[in-house]
Amino acid sequence: MTTMPGGPRRPLPRFPRDFLWGVSTSAQQIEGAVDEDGRGRSAWDAFTAEAGRIKDGSDARVATDHYHRYREDVALLKELGVGAYRFSVSWPRVVPDGSGPVNAAGLDFYDRLVDELLTAGVKPVPTLFHWDTPQRLEAGGGWLRRDTAERFAAYADAVAARLGDRVDRWITLNEPAELTLLGYGLGQHAPGRHLVFDALPAAHHQLLGHGLAVQALRARGATDIGIANSHGPTWPASESEADTGAADLYDLLLNRLFAEPVLLGRYPDEELAALLPGPVAEDLKTISQPLDWYGVNYYQPTLVGAPDPAATAPTDFGGISLPPELPFSPREIKGYPRTDFGWPVVPEALTELLLSFRERYGASLPPIVITENGCSYEGIEDPDRIAFHDAHIRALHEAMSAGVDIRGYFVWSLMDNFEWAEGYARRFGLVHVDFATLTRTPKSSYHWLRDALRDQHDRRDRARG
């Protein structure tokens, strides 16, 4: 990918007038105010309190202090010119124990945020769950328990009851695959459990929670609902039977396991479905509630081969430590630029992914929204981030030109934030945050996107005139 000072300057391809441009954040990563206004503890609060869990020893008690500085952050959104802001609602801020009494003060914050967004002309797009399970629920088993899905639906109903008169677009879950794999399977995210394949009930119960939340939102009159699942192409390391089999298994567990129950009403493998708890066939009817659009979080493809039978030590994969006993082994993708996180930059893989979804799911696939796409780079002058987004926006436009119905693109993220187990060591934001002073400084990429969106509007106006 070619970069230049200030990044690429070719105008972006022209997008439809109603194409939705936005940015994304999550509550645990930016809000702070952990002990204020009745908020309960989250599984991430408990996780960060354990020594050695976070690489820089930090926590999210303050984060970027969005809870107090939301007006400043909405002003940044307005100046940026995006049409939508995808944020998450903190479950423990609204229902501190995960079930039981609703915390009115917590809902008051989201009331204020939604009103501020609407005044600024920015569409609020709340995600109901972005990994911050209330710790009281987590201590009782969390997403390994079926009743967590039911409690999630009750919480979704409480949020919709308060905000539904002003919010018309909703997201139920963010990346259940990562919470299952990293939180319950490998223990490297909250809640820190190392269950490997015994983590699969957490996948099923999150999906069930999604379906029950869709029903709750529909009952409150919602007509614009999606989910944000993480996906990326899986490439076999070779054409050998061992490598292709390992890649197929990885693709099943990280892609198809979370897409097919939602889109097709079935699990991709009968033997896998037999390992899941509860009345799975009945649950799938709930999980596959019709959606108005399907959210895709895309960051990179994965090259996968068979594990080395002689390996005894964990291997590092994009900051994640993978145990040698796994039946697949992600490999380094060579020949592409890399972000400061070490992730390969492969925009054409986004086109591949979107085309493969259309081919795989056909008429069962609703319109797609890219709900996250972003990269970690240091510096306020960030030409590599500009080049990244320029290339990925062109890649999704190529998929649209080939007939894939794509309705929006959300950048991850509005601002630098608490990056989970990495702490504050990785910067994904369009806005730089000085974590000592909390000063916000728009980066070059912020100004580039602002100008690119203005150009989109100007070209539409000229065409209309």
Q: How, if at all, do strands 431-433 and 440-442 pair?
A: antiparallel
Q: Read out DSSP for 303-324?
A: EEE---TT--S-EEETTEEE-T
Residue 299 marked in a binding site: yes
Of 31, 116, 175, 178, catalytic: 175
Distance of alpha carbon 260 from alpha carbon 248, whole angstroms: 15
Break the chain down into helix, strand, coil percent, rounded to 5.
Answer: 45, 15, 40
The whole-angstrom distance between residue 72's C-alpha and the CA centroid of its chain comes to: 23
Q: Which residue has the tokens 């979107």?
A: 354
Tell me the C-alpha distance between 431 and 429, whole Å: 5
- The answer to whether 215 is a known ligand-binding residue is no
* Of residues 70, 88, 85, 68, the one with CA closest to residue 28: 88
Say whether 409 counts as a known binding-site residue.
no
Distances (CA, A) of 86 to 30, 249, 413: 13, 32, 10
Catalytic residue among 31, 116, 138, 372: 372
Tell me whether residue 174 is annotated as binding: yes
Buried/exposed code over 91-121 (b: 16+ C-beta within 10 A; e: otherwise): bbbbbbebbeebbeebbebbeebbebbeeee
Distance from C-alpha of 257 to C-alpha of 203, rounded to nearest angstrom: 8
Instruction: Specify whether the backbone of 95 is left (phi greater than 0), alpha (psi in -120 to 50) or beta.
Output: beta
Dihedral sign from CA coordinates of 338, 339, 340, 341: negative
Total number of residues shown for the chain: 465
Q: What angle do CA 150, 201, 155 make, to 5 degrees?
A: 20
Question: For residues 268 and 261, what is the distance between their CA atoms, to the nearest angstrom?
Answer: 8
130: annotated binding-site residue?
A: yes
Active site annotation includes 175? yes
Q: Which residues are documented as binding site for substrate?
A: 29, 130, 174, 299, 412, 419-420
Residues involved in catalysis? 175, 372
Q: Which residues are documented as binding site?
A: 29, 130, 174, 299, 412, 419-420
